[in-house]
Every structure is written in structure tokens, then in C-alpha cells.
Amino acid sequence: MLRVRCLRGGSRGAEAAHLIGAMVSRSVTGWVQRTFQSTSSAAAAQTQRAAEEEHVTEPVPQECPVCSHNEWDPLEEVIVGRAENARVPPFTVEVKANTYEKYWSFYQKYGGQPFPEDHLKKAVAEIEEMCNILRHEGVTVQRPEPIDWSLEYKTPDFTSSGMYAAMPRDILMVVGNEIIEAPMAWRARFFEYRAYRPLIKEYFKKGAKWTTAPKPTMADELYDQEYPIRTVEDRHKLAAQGKFVTTEHEPCFDAADFIRAGRDLFVQRSQVTNYMGIEWMRRHLAPDYKIHIISFKDPNPMHIDATFNIIGPGLVLSNPDRPCRQIDMFKKAGWTIVKPPTPLIPDDHPLWMSSKWLSMNVLMLDEKRVMVDANESTIQKMFENLGIKTVKVNIRHANSLGGGFHCWTTDVRRRGTLQSYFH
């Protein structure tokens, strides 16, 4: 910008005025020339771009490959975990709090080592067969990358080795067209996301939203180092008091502590999911979704889907051994509460990371088809009485690694729309 200062007085003022006039004239002339050159250049560039664009083919917009709103719409694509290279997690305080005393000697002996070889081979074969059956049912199956989980890693706060990529439900949650990576709470699972990143990047390139929740440091302050567990009675007492091995030092959650029903998601505070993690999810998904905290008479809450598994619109399996304290609000909403039968899994079958109630940890292929344990005849009959066809698969050895069909999968795409089912 040209600044002009007014000058006063005699011939000196006249000379100054003459000088300013000349300066203004040169400035205006230069500006006109530059503007003309700029306009001409812009016009030429525009002509060149137009010519180039004639040879450019615009990409055809694709439908987002990621879209799932609930647990029961027709399943089109799913991620199934891997048992390959799975290792027993080191026996740290958070692992001890989530496992049963009868298996503590197993963790003390094998922590940081592979699971028993023969058992693992059988689990791998079972999951391969499960994938084949899913494909036969018309579902596209994706798998995480095989990774060497034996490598020890060190952060400024802890040292650990890895575990596995067997349970995608624990680490990945799909809400609409968004994939959410859970931060996790076990140190042995800190880098588990690496097995899924190639898949997630491909979904992102094709239009999916991708969110990674804040990664906790997993410093000692996240865990109650003196968590007083000795008996099942201790666990019941602590859970009733709202005391867990994870503190509120920083947000943490496993995705498997959430279960979806359209615009409503239900979650429990557990040994791996704290209130800060739940609050992060609530703020992240608001205002389109509502988070409801529910609780159960459960001495060892970890992952909701073997306790409370929604299998259809207004239809839920509720574990009779772990009754929901808020069950009346579901009844008032008109939901049907189904209590599954007692599991048939033998007492001598090893379940290092879970309970027998994996029998209700089923995967809905749609409202009228369910993937269920081939050995659990009583729950098969229950589904048949509900008018739901059972697709029977045996994953008894895979169960030992900590999950049923729902745990071993994350549904990427279900054919349906976002609706409200809880009023």
C-alpha cells in the first residue's frame, strides 16, 4: 500500500507534490502491467489445465466397504483372528486379576512362552474350518497379519512380550462406517494393533473412517498393584464395591466390553475398561449415539459378550449366572430376555482365559442364522425354538485361547441401516 504524507509550505511543498504525483503515476502503471500479465498468465494456465483435464479420468466413487450398526443384520464381511504364534502373556498383575486361580500355575510356568503346541495346532485348524464355513455361508473373510509375538519390547514405562491377534473383537469396533481401535489394558497386547493395520489401511483407502483411541502409557499407576484377589468371594466383594485392577489413571478399554444396538451401545466397567475409557467413547460418538453403562453380578467382569449378547432387535441373551442389575430397563423397553442353558463343556477342558459361558458367545449371520458351538446341543435347541437356524462349528480348542465365535471375529459390513431399538 502506498502511504502519502501531506506536505505544507512554499516551493518545497510544490516540489514534493510534483514528486509524489510522479511516484503515483509509476506505481499505477506498474500495477496495471502486472495485473495484465497476471490475468494473461492465469488465462493461459486455465486453458492448459482444461486441456489436461480432458485426458484425466475421475475415479468412480465406491460404496464404503465398512458399515455395521448392530450385531444381527445380514453379515457380508468379517475379520477372523489368528491363533498362529500365540503366546501365553506374562503373569502380571492385570493378567492375574483376569484369570482364575486354578490356572495361575500355568501362567507362572508358561508366561511369555508359546501355548502348548499340540493344542495350538488344533485351534489353528478349527479356525481355518470356521473361515471356510463362513465363506460357504456367503461371507467375505479377512485375516490379520501373522506376527512374531515372541519379540520383547520396552517402553519408558514397562517391558513385555506380545500375545496374539486371535480376538479382533477385543481391539476393533465398527460403528457405522468407522473403525475404532481400542487402546487395550494388558501390556502384552500393547502392540496387537500392528497385525490389523494393513487391513485397516485398505479400508481407509476405500472410504472408511479410522479412529485410534488414546493409547495408554500402561504405567504402574494404571493398575492397582495390591489388588487383593485370593478367592472367588474376594472377586465378588471387590466387583460389588466397584473396585477393579485398572484404575482411573488414564483412559483404557477393550472394544469387547461394548455391544451395539443401532444408536445405543451398552458397556460395562470391567477389569480392562475404566470409566475414563467409557467417557472417551461417549464424547467421541455423541450426539449420534448414546452409551449406556450396565453392570452384572460378575466376580470377574471382562468383555460383555459372554454375559449379555444382543442377538436381534429387542432380543438379548442374558447369562443367568451373571444377572444384569439394570434388566428392568430392557423389559420396560419391550425387549425379550432369553436365559441360555448351562454350558456342556467338560470341567477338564482347559479354559485358560475364559469361562464355560463361551457357549453363548455366538455370531449372528443374520436374524435367522447363528454360528454356534457344534458340541452345545442344548443352546442349539434354544435357538431352534426361537426360529433361528444354527450353523454348527467346533472350535473347542480355540475356546481355550479366550473366546467364542463373537470374540474371534469383528464384523466389518452388515447390510442394514442405522436405527433406534431402545426407547
- Plot region of 291 (φ>0 → left; ψ -120 to 50 → alpha; else → beta): beta
Give the Cα separation of 114 and 128 in Å (integer).
20
118 is catalytic: no
The answer to whether the bond into 287 is cis (omega within 30° of 0) is yes
Picking from 114, 59, 69, the residue whose alpha carbon sits closest to that of residue 259 is 69
Give the Cα separation of 149 and 12 in Å (integer).
88
Q: Taking the CA atoms of 196, 201, 202 and 206 in sequence, report the sign of the dihedral they define.
A: positive
Q: Are 296 and 309 in contact (CB under 8 A)?
A: no
Cβ neighbour number for residue 326 with a 10 Å cutoff: 13
Phi, psi of 256, rounded to the nearest 5 degrees: -75, -5
Residue corresponding to grid cell 445405543: 264
254 is catalytic: yes
249 is catalytic: no
Residue corresponding to grid cell 449371520: 365
Strand-pairing partners, residue 267, are 258, 293
Q: Find the catalytic residue in 170, 397, 407, 411.
A: 407
Q: How far is CA 400 from the centre of its chain?
A: 22
Nearest-5° angle of CA 407, CA 412, CA 418? 110
Q: Find the catalytic residue in 67, 252, 257, 303.
A: 303
Q: Find the catalytic residue in 73, 224, 254, 257.
A: 254
Picking from 277, 264, 382, the residue whose alpha carbon sits closest to that of residue 320 is 382
Give the Cα separation of 304 and 270 in Å (integer).
9
Which cell goes with 38? 497476471
Q: Are 251 and 277 in contact (CB under 8 A)?
A: yes
H helices of 54-140, in order, are 93-97, 104-110, 117-136
Pairing of strands 336-338, 315-318: parallel
> What is the rounded end-to-end Cα distance, in angstroms, of the chain?
64
Give the Cα separation of 362 and 113 in Å (integer).
29
Known catalytic residues are 254, 303, 407
